[in-house]
Amino acid sequence: MSRGTRAIIDLAALRFNHQKVRQLAPNSKIWSVVKANGYGHGATRIAQALAASTDGFAVATLDEACELRQAGIDKPILLLEGTASAGQTGVACEENIELVIHNPEQLQWLVEQKKPARVWLKIDTGMHRLGISVAQVAEFAKQVSNQLHLTLVGIMTHLASADEPDNPQTDEQLAQFAQAQALLPNVQHCISNSAATVSLVDTHANWIRPGIILYGASPFADKTAKQLGFKPVMSLLAPVIAVRNIDVGEKVGYGGNWTAKRPTSVATLAIGYADGYPRHAPNGTPVWLNGQQVELIGRVSMDMITVDVTDLAHVELGDEAVLWGEQVSVDTVASACNTIGYELLTRRSLRVPLQFRD
């Protein structure tokens, strides 16, 4: 049974964000990215909430794809990294999963399966993580087209620096991809991640693949999701489980890295790094409690954090704090912790239950 620590998932906000994305790219189809358990939000429920409005879903692993199929999701599903073995390839074909190919082995597995499959070629345009080179595109496309059971649906790439609008790497990557497009003008094209969906209209192409913006967090270091017009989907909540008063000079937490400079009221909250709250969150990280912003004090423990509630009129056991959500954005907390909202959302632990609201 939960200690009261929970994450509320606002499905109405999710649908709002999806509609916002549709407005940003009205001529593109949408792969809604639900990998990593829907960025920590619960992939199945997220997919069910978007099934009527999205054009398809994108995932990172075959298990993620199969989970959606088992939940009754019949929209197209794209396996972004492709399969990891011949056996996985057979399962993916049986489940009607669209497959990304980024190496010769994956193509050979598909050839040997002799099962119908829809295929995307991943082009390495300069990120050097996954993908075939532009020089390999024609040969790979020919091999796919020579197999009657395979359909070459499109080509795709990933932009390494779309979150930095002035970074010249993006133009270099787009120039590389344009060469691949010229070789295969009659297939579909997919380029845009969340950052490109928002800031690079010329990359929208036939398909876009928004991820983090669907969940109401920002892909940019200098802009919050609220500034971009998106609503937070997750609110991470934890109750107060203790309140105590300490004197000037007394220390709080492991290592005593916070020292009271005034008589201080300290509230302990039932959340820690085992729940997914970042262990490296520094003193001063904002928390929302009883209608007011308070500050984290002392090191984050496995199961608890402590906050300074001296300036609150009244705090008692059971009062609920917001670690991130509408009042304190996950982007703000991530910035304080020198990380990104993606990490905070996806690291929510299984002992923090999800509660879904429309």
Whether residue 35 lies in the annotated active site: yes
Residue 139, class by beta-carbon neighbours within 10 Å (0-12 exposed, 13-18 middle, 19+ buried)?
exposed
Clarify whether 39 is annotated catalytic: no
**Cβ burial 17-56 (10 Å sphere, 16+ → b, else e):** bbebbbebbeebbbbbbbbbbbbbbbbbbbbbbbbeebeb
Per the residue annotation, which of 39, 114, 223, 254 is the catalytic one? 254
Tell which residue, 284, 286, 193, has the closest CA to residue 236.
286
3/151 Cα distance (integer angstroms):
51
Instruction: Indicate the DSSP class of residue 123.
Output: B
* H/E segment holding residue 245: strand 234-246
Q: How far apart are the first and last CA of the chain?
A: 24
Catalytic residue among 20, 35, 39, 122: 35
Asked whether the beta carbons of 47 and 31 are under 8 A apart, the reply is no
Q: State which amino acid sits at residue 286.
A: P
> DSSP letter string over 77-120?
EEETT--SSHHHHHHHHHTT-EEEE-SHHHHHHHHHH-S-EEEE
User: What are the distances in angstroms from CA 222 to CA 91, 164, 194, 334?
Assistant: 42, 10, 15, 12
CA distances from 147 to 116, 151, 155, 291 (A): 9, 8, 17, 63
As a whole number of angstroms, the distance between CA 227 and CA 217 comes to 10
Structure tokens at 8: 């509320």
Bridge partner residues of 245 (DSSP): 265
Give the catalytic positions in this structure. 35, 254
